[in-house]
């Protein structure tokens, strides 16, 4: 078939625009996911993806429980980054705006700190009152909000963890206007005023207003089938990206809960997701089915990516 000066051709996972007299320019197609790492790199507990300032992706449980893997920017295979202390197993990783890594240890009820440039984990916060720290999100002032589900009781709560005026790290269970289900995915709105929480047992996603240690103005923004929601991340426009575990998709919601699109994934059991890449518009997804990472391009930067780079 002859190529005209304005012909547009599609190929798998990319768009190629050919213009008269010029070279072809390729860009990845938006919202089309591809597998990035080999199957079996990570255990059934693959979770907690987070990207640092250098574009490295970190994921828990590479090879065996209690480890953290690193996928360098542009790489197609992960490597082990560190081993957590004996008996600890990570479930979530987040980076503060200054580049500090925090890891939620659901087995030993710790939040670990890994200083920028370091490769060992130190206990930053511990509480025997936790059921299990599950997922986390970090505010502009480095306050951590952590989900704390009780899977057997099909209930949950949220912890607020931050340094006090005396410099000591303090953690408290936040007061809430309703009894929560099994709290799981969690993230903040771009302005930091609202907290989004998914509840696995009910399949619901809730929004709360933040007032110190109080959660107020509870709003149910979306209900999916029970036991089909996991991680939640927001972008700079306030959209929510919700991992639909067992459904093999990422649901994209506007801040009021309207479904904008569903992104079909390669694997059927996405546990969580993170924004990365040089512009913060590549979404990495951890897949429990197969123990691998996949990714797709989106049209807006992730909230935390923007916050880490001081652009928000």
What is the per-residue pLDDT across 255-299, written as a single tens digit (0 to 9) for each? 999 999 999 999 999 999 999 999 999 999 999 999 999 999 999
Place 311 in a pLDDT band, splitting at 50, 70 and 90.
Answer: confident
Contacts of 224 (CB under 8 A, 6+ apart): 203, 204, 205, 242, 244, 247, 251
CA distance 128 to 110: 9
Answer yes or no: are the C-beta atoms of 164 and 149 closer than 8 Å. Answer: no
pLDDT tens digits for range 34-46: 999 999 999 999 9
User: Between 181 and 311, whose confidence is greater?
Assistant: 181
Q: What pLDDT score was predicted for residue 251?
A: 98
Q: What pLDDT score was predicted for residue 4?
A: 40
Phi-psi category of residue 192: left, alpha or beta, with phi > 0 → left and psi -120 to 50 → alpha: left
Place 26 in a pLDDT band, splitting at 50, 70 and 90.
Answer: low
**In percent, how much of the chain has pLDDT > 70?**
91
Rounded to the nearest integer, the mean pLDDT of the chain is 92
CA distance 66 to 60: 7
The phi and psi torsions of 307 (rounded to 5 degrees) equal -65, -40
Q: What pTM, to 2 d.p., does this model score?
A: 0.91
**Cα–Cα distances in angstroms (integers) from residue 60 to residues 25, 41, 78, 252, 301, in the given order:** 36, 11, 11, 24, 23
Q: What pLDDT score was predicted for residue 16?
A: 36
Contacts of 1 (CB under 8 A, 6+ apart): none
Q: What pLDDT score was predicted for residue 133?
A: 97
First to last CA, the chain: 48
What average pLDDT score do residues 81-88 get?
A: 98
User: Between 283 and 9, whose confidence is greater?
Assistant: 283
Q: What pLDDT score was predicted for residue 20?
A: 38
pLDDT tens digits for range 186-236: 999 999 999 999 999 999 999 999 999 999 999 999 999 999 999 999 999
């Amino acid at each position: 078939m002859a190529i005209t000066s304005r012909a547009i051709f599609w190929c798998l996972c990319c768009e190629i625009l050919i213009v008269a007299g010029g070279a072809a320019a390729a860009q990845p197609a938006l919202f089309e996911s591809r597998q990035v790492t080999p199957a079996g790199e990570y255990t059934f507990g693959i979770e907690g993806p987070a990207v640092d300032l250098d574009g490295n992706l970190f994921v828990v449980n590479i090879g065996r429980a209690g480890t953290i893997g690193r996928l360098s920017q542009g790489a197609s295979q992960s490597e082990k980054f560190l081993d957590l202390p004996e008996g600890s197993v990570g479930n979530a990783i987040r980076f503060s705006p200054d580049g500090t890594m925090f890891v939620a240890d659901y087995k030993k009820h710790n939040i670990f700190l890994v200083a920028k440039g370091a490769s060992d984990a130190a206990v930053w916060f511990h509480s025997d009152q936790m059921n299990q720290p599950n997922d986390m999100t970090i505010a502009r002032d480095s306050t951590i909000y952590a989900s704390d589900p009780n899977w057997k009781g099909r209930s949950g709560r949220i912890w607020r963890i931050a340094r006090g005026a005396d410099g000591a790290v303090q953690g408290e269970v936040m007061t809430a206007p309703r009894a929560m289900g099994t709290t799981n995915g969690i993230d903040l709105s771009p302005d930091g005023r609202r907290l989004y929480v998914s509840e696995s047992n009910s399949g619901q996603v809730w929004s709360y207003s933040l007032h110190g240690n109080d959660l107020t103005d509870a709003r149910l923004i979306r209900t999916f089938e029970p036991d089909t929601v996991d991680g939640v991340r927001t972008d700079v426009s306030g959209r929510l990206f919700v991992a639909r575990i067992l459904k093999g998709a990422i649901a994209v919601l506007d801040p009021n809960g309207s479904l904008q699109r569903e992104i079909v994934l390669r694997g059927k059991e996405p546990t969580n997701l993170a924004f990365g890449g040089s512009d913060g518009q590549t979404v990495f997804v951890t897949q429990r089915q197969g123990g691998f990472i996949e990714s797709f391009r989106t049209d807006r930067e992730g909230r935390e990516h923007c916050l880490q780079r001081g652009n928000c």
